[in-house]
Every structure is written in structure tokens, then in C-alpha cells.
Chains A and B, each alone.
Chain A
Amino acid sequence: MDETDKTHAARSLPFLTLDNRDFWTGGANNRLLIYRCNSCAYYVHPPTTFCPRCESRDVGAQPVSGFGTIFSFTMNYKKWFPGLDVPYIIAFVVLEEQDDIRLVSNIVDCNPDDVRIGQRVKVRFEQASDIWVPLFAPVGDLS
């Protein structure tokens, strides 16, 4: 358990569906899978089988680099229930491939006081039950 991700409470999880299964299980192979249009290359998130740009139905999961940028973050201090260790960081991460793919995540493996909007981050995965939860950690110079 790293320093920033010390919320000992178990993570709540989504229900797996035919649409979101690739996203939540790609981490088993250390891959972040995002739906992408096979006609015009637009990424479609949340995953679904329609491209809003070219109207193609040929949309499916493809691996992305796993790099992104912190768009916004909050340091959660509130102990919402016993056993939840605080503080911890929740963030919106925008993926490097396309700026309208915004993932909620926790920023881990760093000093939470050093987290900044605009920081470059990279994905890592933590298994919880049948899901591999994408988490992000800062890369490169923190200054």
C-alpha cells in the first residue's frame, strides 16, 4: 500500500456490463482500453457502439498510452464512515489522446501536497474483485 492510497476501506465497484467490461478489466493485461471509432479514429467515452462524430457503429476497445493530465483534483478530508483513512486525492484526469475523455481517479504514489492541476500522470492498476481499477501517478518533474 503506497502512501497516498491508504483508504483501507474496500473500493466500491461498478457493475460490469458489455459496454464497460473492457475499460474495467484491461488492467489485467496492464492496458487501459478506451472505445475508439474504427472509421474516423475518434475516442468514445463512456464506451458505447456509436461514434458521435461520424455516426459509425464500428466502435470498439483500443489500448491508449495511459498518459494524461490532471484537469482538477480535490483532497478529501471527510471521514465518510469508520475505517476510511483520510486525506486522499480524487481527480479528473484527461487522457493524452483526446481532451474530452475525462476519467475520475485517485492520484497515488506521491505526496498529496505536491499534486497540481496540469500535472502529467500515468496509469497503473489495482485489482479489486473482478475489476482492475485504473489509478494515476505523477510522472517526471513535480515542480
Chain B
Amino acid sequence: MKYPEKNVAITGIGQSRISRDAGFSPLSLTLDAVLEAIADAGLERSDIDGMSCWPGDYQDASGMAPVGIPALQDALRLKLGWYSNCRETAGQFGAIFNAIAAISANLCRHVLIFRTMYQATARKTSFANASFQPGGRAFWPYDWFAPYHAYAAASQQALYFSRYVHESGIKPEQVAQIALISRQNASLNPAAIYRTPITLDDYFDAPIISSPLKLFDCDVPIDGSTAIILSRVDCARDTRNPLTRIEAIGSSMQYRNSWTQLDDPATQALPGVAEMMWGRTDLSPADVDVAELYDGFSFHTINSLEALGFCPKFEAGAFIDGGSRIALDGELPINTNGGALSAGRMHAYGQVHEACVQLWGRGERRQVAGDPRVAALSTAGGPLAGCFLLVRDD
């Protein structure tokens, strides 16, 4: 097969309770998600013969990545043909892209992928979101930011977003629609962290973090874990859920891989991966029924809407104006569980989980009407970018 991802399916999903104060260890949360995903696929622990994750155990107190493959493999006593974490890759979805390669190379058939965050609890004991310690010395890639009191991802994103606003002319009340729609969707998702709808006034009354980023443009750190099972299609046919294949991936790096020198901060690294993805499928943006677009910051989602071709470059403002197009009953429902902005920072895997929920008709009050079959997913952030299409085949 020319494009091996078409031979790989997502067969099961699982998620722990998502909270601001778990009271359970990161490994315990991970086990909740993983065991649910294996059972959801209709598989046994012994069927899992591959493991993949992004970014691997950070071995620090930040809560960014408190669980890696070794601890989880040992807890589950899995016997594997292939396993790998990855950090220097196409963002969070790099773990999925690697697993596709491993499955295609016949190294494994059912790959367990997980993403665990413990930042809500970690924040109570260490400096919020620190890329480096105030007054300390910083490693790559923060060395060029460190002396300038640019302490968090928000500092970098604000620099890119500011350039986007300058070039596109997007209005703040248009940007706000991403946060408003996310919260509206979250109000229908009992598992979301924040479920009370917000208004434009709430958006503008909230503090500015770093202009033009306001509070509601930034996602919510959580404790929680998400897991998915990736399976070779012929093995997936025996599993429990409707066959849902990966139709096309965008994993390329066409730019300077740098948080300061990336070619175009206004669009970040998304155009290259989107071009790759659409080059590997006969589908087009008009075929997408639901879009789960990374929203570590609302700006990421705006970038994705343009780069993935749902609207022309620098015209997302008009596209999302008023919010109706991207609402649950709109032509392109986005971030239907509330996204990272309202459901919580599951770091792109919340989006993967939710895409399956929608394609499998499990959305309950937030289910997109019309039996959605095609989902588009993206991750973004500086030089990190990845995207893929999920298609339910039945």
C-alpha cells in the first residue's frame, strides 16, 4: 500500500477522570485510561504487543510527562515486539506516526499509546508551567528566551500570535469565539473541567496573560490520562468498535525547526503538515464532518482552520465570526468536548479521544448530528505540528 497509515485503525479509547486535583498517582490515572482503552477495543492485555508515547517520562516535578513507557510496561507486565517514546517529532501525534511505521514494518499489531498529565497537582508545589527556573540557567530551546522573562509557552505563543494579529487583522471578538464555542460544547460534556458558558463580556473582562493572549485563550492544566489503541486493519476487524482508519497523516518538517527562527511565526509549522496530509488522500476539507483542532491556545485552532484549508490564510476571523460555523450544529463543529480550553489540557490526546467518541456516536448531548464519518485532527505549537484524518469505514 502506498500510504501505510490507511492500513492502521484506532480500535479503542480510554480516559481517566480529568480533574484539577486527582488524589491518585499519575501511574494510577494512566492505568485507568489504558485498561479502559484495551477493554473498549475488546482486546486483552496479552494482545498488546506495542507501546508508543510522546514525550516519554520527563523525570521532573512539572507534571508535564510523569509516566513513561518503562513504568507502564512493567506495571502491566506487557510483552512487546516494539516500543518507543519520541520527543523530537511532529508534536504529540509523533507517537501515533511512529506506531504506524512500526505496525507497517510488522513489528507489532496492537499498539498502546498514552498521554498523562499531572500539571494541576504539580502546580501546587512547583512554579507554574516553568520552562526553566527564574534566575537559573536554561537549556535548549529556552536558552534564547531565558534572559527575557519569557517563562512559559504563553510567552512564545504571544509573540507568534501578535504577528498573526498584525498580518491578518483578526478582531479580538472573533478570536473569542474559539473560547466561547469550546465552553458551550463543554457545558454538554459532564467530564469537562469548566462547564459554565462564558460570554463575550466574560472573555474581555478576564485578565490579559501576555497580549494578545487573554486568560480564556489559554488551556487548563489538569491531572489525567488518555489512552488509545492503534491496530493493523486486518487485526482491527475482530475488535469491538466500527472500523476507523487513519486516512492520511501530516508529519513533515519543512521549516527551520526552531522556536525563534521558525520560518513564519504567524502560521507556525502547520502549512507543511497540512499539505502533506491532503496529498495522501482523495478527501478534501469539505468532506470533514468534525474537526478536533489543537487548542493549547485559541491561536493554535485559528492556525489549524487556515492551514488545513477550512478557510483561506488570514481569513479565520471572518470564518469564526459570530461562532455559528464552528458550533456543534454548524458546518464545521470544532473541539466538541470543550477542547483543552474547557475540557482540560489532555495535550492533543483529548482531541483524539473525542474524535472517536464522535465517529462512534457516543457524544450523547454533544453528539454532532448527521452520523459523522470523517474527523480532522491537528497539533501545533512553534515548530511542532502534526495532523491526520480519521475515517469510519462502515
Contact = CB atoms under 8 A, between A and B. Distances in A.
A92 B155 contact: no
Given A80-B128, A100-B261, A117-B166, A74 B149 contact: no
Nearest to B130: A80
Nearest to B208: A77
A11 B148 contact: yes
A75 B158 CA distance: 9
Interface residues of A, number: 37
B152 A74 contact: no
A10 B166 CA distance: 31
A72 interface: yes
Interface string A17-30: 00010000000000
Contacts of B50: none
A10 B162 contact: no
Interface residues of B, number: 41
Contact of B136 (A7, A12, A88, A91): A12
A73 interface: yes
Which of A73, A84, A91 has most B Cβ within 10 Å?
A73
A131 B207 contact: no
A52 to B, nearest CB: 9
B147 interface: yes
B258 to A, nearest CB: 8
Given A72-B160, A76-B155, A90-B159, A11 B261 contact: no
B29 interface: no
Contacts of A73: 159, 162
B94 to A, nearest CB: 23
Contact of A74 (B129, B134, B139, B159): B159
A20 B141 CA distance: 13
Given A14-B143, A104-B260, A75 B210 contact: yes
A102 B264 CA distance: 11
B82 interface: no
A119 interface: no
Contact of B137 (A15, A78, A105): A15
B144 interface: yes
Given A46-B144, A84-B134, A76 B149 contact: yes
A102 B383 CA distance: 15
A134 to B, nearest CB: 9
A41 interface: no
Interface in B149-196: 149-152, 154-155, 158-163, 166
B254 to A, nearest CB: 15
B380 to A, nearest CB: 17
Contacts of A45: 261
Which of A12, A45, A91 has most B Cβ within 10 Å?
A12
A96 B128 CA distance: 36
A80 to B, nearest CB: 5
B148 A90 contact: yes
A127 to B, nearest CB: 11
Contacts of B319: none
Contacts of B145: 104
Contact of B133 (A12, A90, A106): A12
A72 B160 CA distance: 7
Interface in A31-83: 45-46, 71-78, 80-81
Given A71-B163, A73-B162, A102-B260, A20 B149 contact: no
A15 B149 contact: no
Nearest to A16: B137
Nearest to A118: B166
B134 A9 contact: yes
Given A74-B210, A90-B155, 16 more contacts: A11-B146, A12-B132, A12-B146, A73-B162, A74-B161, A74-B162, A74-B213, A75-B208, A76-B210, A78-B152, A80-B127, A81-B128, A90-B158, A92-B159, A92-B260, A117-B162
16 contacts: A11-B148, A12-B134, A12-B135, A14-B146, A15-B137, A72-B265, A73-B159, A76-B158, A77-B207, A77-B209, A80-B128, A81-B128, A81-B151, A90-B148, A90-B155, A90-B210
